[in-house]
Amino acid sequence: MALTIRRVLQPGERVRVLIVDDSAVVRRLVTHAIEQDPELNVVGTASNGAIALQRIPQLNPDVLTLDIEMPEMDGLETLRRLRREYPQLRVIMLSTLTERGASITLEALTLGADDYVQKVTNEPSLERSMDRLQQELLPKIRQFFRFPGSAGIAAAPKPANGAIATTAPQGPRPRPRVLAIGVSTGGPTALGAVLPQLPQDFPLPVLIVQHMPPLFTRLLAERLDTTCHLSVTEATNGMQVTPGKILVAPGDYHMKVTAAGDAVSIRLDQSPPLNSCRPAVDALLASLAETYGGAILTVILTGMGQDGLRGVEVLKKKGATVLAQDEPSSVVWGMPGAVVNAGLADRVLPLDQMIPEVLRRVALR
């Protein structure tokens, strides 16, 4: 993962976007959608990766939208070259909502793509297609930058040991009984880095909310399961929450927990989105607070927006422990930054120090 802090744009400066897609129709559609934002500027297009790589030195883009299937040089090979030659260039994949499209998109995210947007399909009109593309693509481009006059998230000052002052009760902490992880943009790479560090004897259940649509979450869980010491599964309704098992919230469902005696099980529902998200981190954390009280260790990783902030506020009142990823190691410091800026993080850590701290908190180190 490239270490990239959001760049601050100067007054009058616009984000420079290069569109790479073999379809002329898609190139025109994406161009038109981006040009609706006066702070974004399409500086060029390319019909395949080879042409894009030739044009980058002349066009100097900040962001590249990248199709997956293209002649001569496809999206994955282009991405590999981009990460070697232009590691700071932001890359958003254009994905199809198919098994193959989702699988390749997850591979792209693992290779270092910053985010993805589903291609517009099955819309009844060009206007509807344009509206949806604007709603989904423009915020994902803008998330990587701080615009003049906007109120960006400021990092809270921290002592040298990484501890952050919190609003939580400062008495003895309950021993954690569950590990909850919330993550969005940059999540597949972050999860792929941290989860394999959990040892086979990890004593807590692990519940994960990653902002992704249906199909993507199942494929993500399957991919992680091949690299982790613990079993990783997409959660289903009624599934038992047991130590040493990692459950991923399914796309388009909030994942919550319910207790019956000593047994805790998963409850999925399609109640309204929170923070424009379903699954939402806030939904999981609020549910965990009802079941586990303060005996929760929560990790907020890279992601756009502030999903998780309200849930963390609830947990801190119960004495739970919260760890947040730092800005330099985050693809987007929205979710962890919101928690840090509110003074709710017990520690702010780079990604590579997160699991050692988790293991220390559950007394495995």
Return the active site residues: 184, 211, 307
Say if residues 134 and 36 touch (Cβ distance below 8 Å): yes
Say if residues 297 and 179 touch (Cβ distance below 8 Å): yes
Q: Report the distance separating Cα 311 and Cα 81, nearest Å.
A: 40
Tell me the one-letter amino acid at 132: R
DSSP 8-state secondary structure symbol assigned to residue 328: T
Say if residues 93 and 108 touch (Cβ distance below 8 Å): yes
Q: Which two tokens stand for residue 91?
A: 């890359």
End-to-end CA separation in angstroms for the chain:
26
DSSP 8-state secondary structure symbol assigned to residue 199: -
Upper half-sphere CA count for residue 211 (Cβ side, 13 Å)? 26
Q: Report the distance separating Cα 328 and Cα 240, nearest Å.
A: 36
Bridge partners for 19 per DSSP: 45, 65
Q: Report the distance separating Cα 7 and Cα 62, nearest Å.
A: 10
Say if residues 219 and 106 touch (Cβ distance below 8 Å): yes
